Amino acid sequence: MKILVTVKRVPDTAAEKRLDPADKTLDRESVETILNPVDEYAVEEALRLKEQHGGEVVVLCMGPSSALATVRKALSMGPDAAVHVHDDALHGSCAFNTAKVLQAAIRQVEPDIVLCGSESTDARTSLVPSALAEYLGWPGLTGAKQLEVDGATVRVHRETENGYDVVEADGPAVVSVVKGINEPRYPSFKGIMAAKSKPVTDYTLADLGVDPGEVGTAGATTEVVDFAPRPPRQAGQQVKDPGDGSAAVELAEFLAGHKFI
Amino acid sequence: MPRVLVLVEHEEGAAKKVTYEMLTKARDLGEPVAVFVGEGLETAREGLARHGATAVYAAGGDNRLSGPLTGALAAAADRAEPAAVLVAATPLGKDAGARLAARRGWGMLADIVDLDGDLVATQNVFGGATTVRARVRTGTPVLAVKPNSFPVQEAPAEPEVVDLDLAEGQDATRVTDHVVQEQGGRPDVAEAEIVVSGGRGLQDPSNFALVEALADTLGAAVGASRAAVDAGWYPHQHQVGQTGKTVSPQLYVAVGISGAIQHRAGMQTSKTIVAVNKDADAPIFAISDFGVVGDLFKVVPRLTDEVAKRKA
Ligand SMILES: Cc1cc2nc3c(=O)[nH]c(=O)nc-3n(C[C@H](O)[C@H](O)[C@H](O)COP(=O)(O)OP(=O)(O)OC[C@H]3O[C@@H](n4cnc5c(N)ncnc54)[C@H](O)[C@@H]3O)c2cc1C
Ligand SMILES: Nc1ncnc2c1ncn2[C@@H]1O[C@H](COP(=O)(O)O)[C@@H](O)[C@H]1O
């Protein structure tokens, strides 16, 4: 089985993120970057599928040349090879442009299944996996907290608000996984060393036959009109409980005053 | 008047509140047309009418799958030629919206919290630290609306029901089982008007009962910090924060939660925040409208009693 995992480079979770005033896109250069945390679960799930069914795991990342570090980080967990799509024209791509480009790369790799994270911590839109499924014309099984491949059938437990739905389709399919589906392995020292020499195929838009005018800032389907930092919240009233819980009465008073009770 | 499509979020015909929030907002933009997929149309119809739907476009199929939802939205859009399509910013709403936009070559904005007459949408990004106003440049805007962003107002209408007459099962995806693990009754944390969350300060999973009791008297959903979820004290679906859900309720109550940046990223756009924590320097207090410095084991049960008393 050929398993492809999409991984994204995102700003470090603790880093202060800001928009570049010049072109109103996320300033990704001024901050530390990491592998999107949820994508580690997708990589782990891919490795487990390979352990069960045999085959190979290919990592796919669209991002600037500097995202190679993210690709290597993913490879250090154990995948066999990677595809890195980078092209200056991709700067400022929207979720749909991204999905279009990922789709074109996926068609080159011809996997039996595509695994994505459920959302990226910077954009947090969760649009890419479904858009990708649509462009590929494959079933999209999102929000998986369990995944099973059984012959041609791909089956997931899809998280709902009070439990889960068992959803299945015939592969090839796009599956997005949620945090907690597994316990991602830590890269071993050997894995980190091995990752340095694993094959990484570089694609430009021309290699993929994607028109640069369709992607990046030029082809983005959405645009930022303006942005502003949100005014910081002010600390309000604070009361100290004398030790018997009676401050609860004041809190209840506050809640009643704001019509919550 | 231009038409605005609203994808109905429902369970067997019981529409979720966010549907009415979207119908109310849609009336500012044009004539709301509800798109309904699945069983329970008769149940849903009255509520949709009461909130101003001028038409209900209905289709069969499983409304827990994005395939039938996308098919219905696409067919409805062909008929109504809407100025915009509103879906709820829930996992399924976003899936259906994304697939519709991809299918038609349109643009989509996710998690919008406001929308003006020119279809410029407001989003809170970077954990609520930045407010962005954005618009769709390509095709019909598809907008995923965050629950609790718009008030609900009634405006009775008499909608015609139009059968979209779609072939069911747009693709071969199927739901083979629906498993309920937690007894319902409590609202979903991502959509609730009030959320009461517990953290590591609870010290033991059984003490989540204190949080649940307070939540139940307030009619609230239960949330949890990552520390509590990672310790296995409460299910992952309830995690609030950067790697959990982003919530924006009217009231957020943080119990025994320190307020780490990754937790704040998921809740700091809540309208009102209150916190109970024994550490006066806990960062959660810096963003709280009302903070109680004290032992949660003393304060929370007393608060539950006090709320119950006032509600009685
Ligand atoms: C990549 C990444 C992603 C993350 N994502 C998330 C996320 O999505 N959500 C999230 O919540 N966190 C997230 N975190 C973790 C976050 O950094 C914090 O570790 C976590 O929020 C702490 O949870 P807590 O407040 O429950 O625990 P603690 O920080 O341990 O705080 C417990 C609090 O309880 C108080 N307390 C203790 N006993 C009592 C008592 N008897 N009465 C009253 N108060 C008491 C203490 O004073 C303390 O302030 C993430 C971290 C990373 C690195
Ligand atoms: N530029 C990218 N390169 C590779 N994968 C991506 C990219 N952007 C998004 N993804 C994948 O899509 C998932 C959801 O991201 P998003 O839709 O941006 O919230 C991520 O977890 C990744 O698996």
Could you report the per-residue pLDDT of A183-192, keeping only the tens digit for each? 999 999 999 9
Task: Tell me how far the alpha carbon of residue B185 lies from the centroid of ligand 2, in angstroms.
Answer: 34
Residue of chain B nearest A100, judged by CA positions: B102
pLDDT score recorded for residue A68: 96
pLDDT at A102 over 80: yes
**Cross-chain Cβ contact B99/A252 below 8 Å:** no
Whole-angstrom distance, CA of residue A57 vs CA of residue B11: 38
pLDDT score recorded for residue B58: 97
Q: What residues contact residue A57 under an 8 Å CB cut-off, 6+ apart?
A: A3, A4, A5, A43, A46, A47, A49, A50, A78, A79, A80
Q: Once rounded to an integer, what is the mean pLDDT over residues A207-236?
A: 93
Tokens of A78: 């154990």
Examine residue A122 and state whether it is found in any structural domain, yes or no.
yes
B307 closest CB neighbour out of A13, A139, A261 = A261
Whole-angstrom distance, CA of residue B140 vs CA of residue B80: 12
Instruction: Say if CB A148 and CB B117 are below 8 A apart.
Output: no
Examine residue A243 and state whether it is found in any structural domain, yes or no.
no
CA-based nearest residue to B8, from B30, B27, B47: B47
Whole-angstrom distance, CA of residue B141 vs CA of residue A20: 24
162-201 in chain A: CB under 8 A from chain B: 162-170, 178-180
Whole-angstrom distance, CA of residue B93 vs CA of residue B144: 7
B102 closest CB neighbour out of A134, A164, A249 = A134
Ligand located closest to B230 CA = 1
A26, A38, A116, A177, best to mutate for ligand 2 pocket (most atoms within 8 Å of CB):
A116
B135 closest CB neighbour out of A134, A166, A225 = A225
What tens-digit pLDDT sequence spans chain B (312 residues)?
A: 899 999 999 999 999 999 999 999 999 999 999 999 999 999 999 999 999 999 999 999 999 999 999 999 999 999 999 999 999 999 999 999 999 999 999 999 999 999 999 999 999 988 888 999 999 999 999 999 999 999 999 999 999 999 998 875 556 899 999 998 876 679 889 889 999 999 999 999 999 999 999 999 999 999 999 999 999 999 988 999 988 899 999 999 999 999 999 999 999 999 999 999 999 999 999 999 999 999 999 999 999 999 999 998
Chain segment A58-99, per-residue pLDDT in tens:
999 999 999 999 999 999 999 999 999 999 999 999 999 999
Instruction: Select from 2.40.160.10, 3.40.50.1220, 1.20.950.20, 3.40.800.20 the CATH code of B194-311.
Output: 3.40.50.1220
Tokens of B109: 């904005």
pLDDT at A157 over 70: yes
Task: Tell me how far the alpha carbon of residue B261 lies from the centroid of ligand 1, in angstroms.
Answer: 9
Torsion angle, CA of B301/B307/B309/B312, rounded to 10 degrees?
-140
- CB atoms near residue A213 (< 10 Å): 10
Torsion-angle region of residue A37: left (phi > 0), alpha (psi -120 to 50) or beta?
alpha
pLDDT score recorded for residue B249: 95
Examine residue A231 and state whether it is found in any structural domain, yes or no.
no
Q: Which atom of ligand 2 is nearest to the CA of A127?
A: 17
**Cross-chain Cβ contact A167/B175 below 8 Å:** yes
Residue of chain A nearest B299, judged by CA positions: A245
Fold entry, domain B3-163: Rossmann fold (3.40.50)
In the 8-state DSSP scheme, what is residue A66? G
Phi, psi of A74 (to 5 degrees): -65, -45
pLDDT score recorded for residue A21: 79
CB contact burial B67-81 (16+ within 10 A = b; e otherwise): bbbbbbbbbbbeebe
CB-ligand 2 contact for A127 (6 Å cutoff): yes
CATH number of the domain at A100, please.
3.40.50.620
Q: What residues contact residue B126 under an 8 Å CB cut-off, 6+ apart?
A: A17, A18, A122, B265
Our count of domains for chain A comes to 1
Tokens of B165: 């007459």
A248 closest CB neighbour out of B66, B182, B302 = B302
Our CA angle for B303, B304, B309, nearest 5°, is 95
Q: Residue with structure tokens 């004539």?
A: B31
Domain range annotation of chain B: 3-163, 194-311
Q: Once rounded to an integer, what is the mean pLDDT over residues A23-28?
A: 74
B306 closest CB neighbour out of A228, A252, A258 = A252
ipTM of predicted complex: 0.92
CA-based nearest residue to B81, from B158, B5, B163, B157: B5
Domain that holds residue A121: 2-219
Which residues of A are less than 8 Å from B288 in CB distance? 235-236, 238
Whole-angstrom distance, CA of residue B198 vs CA of residue A136: 42
CA-based nearest residue to B41, from B218, B124, B146, B163: B163
Query: Closest Cα of chain A to B245: distance in Å?
Result: 10
What residues does ligand 1 touch, defined as CB less than 6 Å away? A 13, 37; B 199-201, 225-228, 239-244, 256-258, 260, 262-263, 266, 276-279, 282, 295-297
Q: Once rounded to an integer, what is the mean pLDDT over residues A138-160?
A: 96
In the 8-state DSSP scheme, what is residue B207? G
Query: Closest Cα of chain A to B173: distance in Å?
Result: 4
pLDDT score recorded for residue B128: 86
Report the Cα B200 to chain-centroid distance in Å.
26
Q: How much is the mean pLDDT over chain A?
A: 94
Q: Which atom of ligand 1 is nearest to the CA of B296?
A: 42
Rg (CA), chain B: 21
CB-ligand 2 contact for A117 (6 Å cutoff): yes
By the CB < 8 Å criterion, does A238 face chain B? yes
A73 burial (CB, 10 Å; 0-12 / 13-18 / 19+) is buried
Which residues of B are less than 8 Å from A13 in CB distance? 242-243, 262
Instruction: Quote the pTM value.
Output: 0.92
A145 burial (CB, 10 Å; 0-12 / 13-18 / 19+) is buried
Ligand located closest to A129 CA = 2
**Cross-chain Cβ contact A240/B280 below 8 Å:** yes
For residue A29, name the pLDDT band (cuts at 50, 70, 90): low
